[in-house]
Amino acid sequence: MSVTDTPAAVARHEIKTVTTDLSLNDHLDHFLARFACNRMGHKVTPGLYAVGLPADDSPVFVTANYTLSFDALRKNLSNLNCYILVLDTKGVNVWCAAGEGTFGTDELVRRVEAASLYDLVNHKKLILPQLGAPGIVAHEVKKRTGFKVLYGPVRACDIAEYMKTGTATEEMRRVRFPFYDRLILTPVELVLVLPYVFIVAAVLYFVAGPVPAFSAVAAVLAGAFLTPVLLPLIPFRDFSAKGFFVGVLVAVPFALLALLADCCSHLWVKIGWATAYLLLIPAVSAFLALNFTGSTTFTSMSGVKREIFKYTRVMAYMFGTGLLLMIFLIVSGAFLR
């Protein structure tokens, strides 16, 4: 049998090659992903990729087929000859896919077998991202494939140092969520909700005036922008509570403006508008802040469920009461003019 007929050679013919340099199209794809354009369409083809000129002793990294996850890994492999095994996570990032089960044991085993890794490398090691651990049963992977699961650092930028020492330091294991990381996640939520908010604001502007209209926009910004950006500075542990806190701070100026307004001589109307702002803005802010937990690694699946049961009923009561009150004030205001 010739060398080209060996299983390893056949596997090599199916390997895709990829560079570590990101192109203009890659950066454009990242921009569109951040702004929720074609939200589930930012994918790479699952399978095995070669970086540089890998040999049979080259390391094998595992990642998701979400372009931002894939690109974050490959751009930090510039000095390595290695393989990247891409799992089919339906275009979802590693951490979220691990929670959903698509970055999971069965998919990893399936990809190892499909790539014939047994014949391609002379070692039995797979380097997985640490945030993918919730979806992987390491001993099951070892039992079914013979490959040992190793967890690399949280951030791909630490891979070079990790490969030099073979171990991840405590600092490499620490999940960090600095200002920039929080900031770049905010456009997704804003893009998804602002079109609807602008419609609501336009309606409020014509039926109630500029202040109620602006309050709708402010409520969304409180939960989808201010809360994420100011996250570590806001008291409370639960994201919903953080959202309530920021929402109250944003609502207070609107409530004071309503109480001090000269446009209406009826005190009950002023108190009604102030109350509506204090109910609606915190409720919307808290809901969007709760939704932001899906963008972080600080809240577990059980933690999110606990928050949902703990806060959503309160949010619903506050929002419903505030909405009914606002409608009543708008209708009654038409008769008072």
Q: What pLDDT digit, counting tens, does each position of 226-261 carry?
A: 999 999 999 998 999 999 999 999 999 999 999 988
Q: What is the pLDDT of residue 336?
A: 59
How many angstroms separate the Cα of 78 from the Cα of each of 50, 56, 157, 194, 214?
12, 18, 11, 39, 49
Non-local (6+) Cβ contacts of 126 within 8 A are 60, 62, 85, 108, 112, 141, 147, 148, 149, 150
Give pLDDT tens digits for 17-48.
999 999 999 999 999 998 888 878 899 999 99
Range of the domain at 321: 180-336
Question: Given pLDDT bands bounded at 50, 70 and 90, which one contains residue 298?
Answer: low
123 and 87 in a common domain? yes
**pLDDT bucket at 309, cuts 50 / 70 / 90:** confident
Q: What is the mean pLDDT of the chain?
A: 89
The number of distinct structural domains making up the chain is 2
The pLDDT value recorded for residue 337 is: 57
Give first-to-last CA distance, the chain, whole Å: 95
My answer on whether 56 and 71 are in the same domain is yes
Do 233 and 210 fall within a single domain? yes
167/162 Cα distance (integer angstroms):
6
CB-CB contact of 227 with 291 (8 Å)? no
Residue 8 has pLDDT above 70, yes or no: no
In a shared domain, residues 161 and 68: yes
CA-angle at 106, arms to 104 and 109, nearest 5°: 105
pLDDT at 11: 44
pLDDT of residue 79: 86
CATH, residue 143: 3.40.50.11600
Coil/strand/helix, residue 36: coil
**Secondary structure of the chain: what % helix, strand, coil (to 5)?**
65, 10, 30
| pLDDT, tens digit, 9 for 90 and up, residues 61-90 | 999 999 999 999 999 999 899 999 999 999
Whether pLDDT at 300 is above 80? no
pLDDT level of residue 297 (50, 70, 90 thresholds): low
Contact 298, 174 (CB under 8 A): no
Q: Tell me: do 46 and 162 sit in the same domain.
A: yes
Give the model's confidence band at 10: pLDDT under 50 very low, under 70 low, under 90 confident, else very high.
Answer: very low
Q: Is the pLDDT of residue 91 over 80?
A: yes
Is-contact 117 140, C-beta < 8 A?
no
Quick one: 206 and 330 in the same domain?
A: yes
Task: With beta carbons less than 8 A apart as the criterion, state whether 83 and 109 touch.
Answer: no
What residues form DSSP beta bridges with 295? Answer: none
- β-bridge pairing 47-51 and 82-87: antiparallel
In whole angstroms, give the CA distance from residue 2 to residue 200: 71
Mean pLDDT (whole number) for 141-159: 95
Residues 163, 23 share a domain: yes
What pLDDT was estimated at residue 305?
Answer: 77
Is the pLDDT at 302 greater than 70, yes or no?
Answer: no
Indicate if 172 and 185 belong to the same structural domain: no
More confident residue, 100 or 206: 206
Q: What is the mean pLDDT of residues 304-330?
A: 92
CB 15 within 8 A of CB 60: no
The residues with which 37 forms a beta bridge, in sequence order, are none
Residues 155 and 238 in one domain: no
Q: Residues 92-108: pLDDT tens digits?
A: 999 889 988 899 999 99
Distance CA 208, CA 53 (A): 67
Residues 59 and 187 in one domain: no
pTM here? 0.81
* pLDDT at residue number 6: 35
115 pLDDT exceeds 90? yes
pLDDT at 7: 40
Please check whether residues 191 and 210 belong to one and the same domain. yes
Per-residue pLDDT at 2: 27
Predicted confidence band of residue 176 (pLDDT cuts 50, 70, 90): confident
Last residue of a domain, one of 145, 176, 207: 176
**Are 164 and 264 in the same domain?**
no
